[in-house]
Amino acid sequence: MTDPQTLVKDVLANGKVDGEEIKVLRQELYAAGRPDRRGMDALVEIHKRVQRVTPAFEQFFYQALKDYLLRDGRVSAAEVAWLRGTVLTGTPGVMDAKFLRELRGEAKGGGPELEALCGEFLK
């Protein structure tokens, strides 16, 4: 994968993530088959810093999150802590809630940490 900070800078150059930027992100994040932690940290930074979040980028972002978190079918306590500390900071939006419902439904096991997170954000 390209240096994550270079990737962030390049993708954010025009203030939005769409079309060509998503193609580059997909190639970088999925080069080894599934996104890894380094790539996901870069993607989260892009998501937080982008000026205009396009529907295509939102869809790509949440799908990449699921692909990363569900690579073994389960969501570990460490992954829940990572989600809480990076993605789900503050009041959840509609897409956050949709993502959590899908994640909980697709996970083969999430343990009490995932259930607690869903209970907290899906009131």
The answer to whether the beta carbons of residues 38 and 72 sit under 8 Å apart is: no
SS3 for 47-114, per residue? HHHCCECCHHHHHHHHHHHHHHHCCCCECCHHHHHHHHHHCCCCCCCHHHHHHHHHHHHHCCECHHHH
The answer to whether the beta carbons of residues 47 and 65 sit under 8 Å apart is: no
Predicted local distance difference test score (pLDDT) of residue 80: 93
Query: In Å, how far are 26, 35, 40 from 4, measured between CA atoms?
Result: 13, 12, 9
At 89-103, the pLDDT tens digits run: 877 788 888 999 999
H or E stretch including 10? helix 4-11
Q: Give the residue carrying structure tokens 């993502």.
A: 99
Which residues in the chain show pLDDT less than 50? none
Predicted local distance difference test score (pLDDT) of residue 1: 61
